[in-house]
């Protein structure tokens, strides 16, 4: 028996099992993922544009500096999501795969905007006050169509059932 094949099969099996146990994504965590995907898109685009002779790296670096607390918060929220679903090393691996999949998407030409349009996008996402940073970045991410991959899928919306409410609350609702 080839030990390499056994180890490879176990790694594949465990990786698929970790994906199978990924928790669903609630609205706030999806927003964090959109912000993370936006950040990755800008980073990869800055590097791609640099190869084309358009230097967006200083603009991207300014974006990161001005939005650092929000970007860190989004990353921490995503990592908490993976920890809740699987924990430990599997969560870190899933987090790494999540970012890598998005980076590869953009590295393979998944950005339709030209470099000057991207410069405008990154500068717009850099401007503004710190109090509204999360909302501003989320809005920017949604305007450019960020739809991150969500292993485990989006959580189903929960609808409250009046029968689960205390009788006093049900009476108040009918009057």
Report the percent of the chain where pLDDT is more than 70. 75
- φ and ψ of 18, to 5 deg: -65, -40
Three-state secondary-structure class, residue 19: helix
Give the pLDDT mean for 75-100.
92
pLDDT at position 73 is: 96
Write the CA distances from 123 to 34, 60, 63, 71, 90, integer angstroms.
18, 8, 7, 16, 36
pLDDT digits (tens, 9 = 90+) for 104-127: 988 887 777 889 999 999 998 988
Burial class (CB in 10 A: 0-12, 13-18, 19+), 153: exposed
Once rounded to an integer, what is the mean pLDDT over residues 87-93?
90
Nearest to 137 by CA among 129, 125, 146: 125
Q: Where does the pLDDT of residue 163 fall: very low under 50, low under 70, confident under 90, or very high at 90 and above?
A: low
pLDDT at 60 exceeding the cut of 70: yes
Nearest residue to 140 (alpha-carbon basis) of 38, 36, 25, 50:
38
- Nearest Cα neighbor of 34 from 161, 160, 169, 141 is 141
Flag whether pLDDT at 101 surpasses 50: yes
């Amino acid at each position: 028996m080839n030990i390499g094949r056994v180890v490879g099969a176990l790694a594949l099996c465990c990786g698929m099992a970790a994906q199978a146990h990924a928790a669903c994504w609630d609205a706030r965590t999806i927003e964090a993922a959109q912000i993370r995907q936006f950040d990755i898109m800008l980073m990869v685009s800055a590097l791609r544009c640099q190869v084309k002779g358009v230097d967006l790296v200083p603009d991207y670096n300014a974006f990161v500096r001005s939005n650092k607390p929000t970007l860190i918060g989004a990353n921490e929220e995503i990592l908490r999501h993976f920890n809740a679903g699987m924990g430990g090393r599997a969560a870190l691996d899933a987090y790494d795969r999540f970012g890598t999949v998005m980076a590869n998407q953009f590295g393979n030409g998944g950005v339709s905007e030209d470099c000057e349009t991207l410069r405008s996008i990154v500068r717009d996402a850099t401007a503004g006050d710190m109090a509204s940073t999360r909302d501003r970045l989320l809005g920017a991410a949604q305007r450019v169509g960020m739809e991150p991959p969500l292993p485990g899928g989006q959580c189903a919306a929960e609808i409250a059932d009046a029968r689960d409410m205390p009788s006093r609350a049900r009476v108040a609702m009918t009057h």
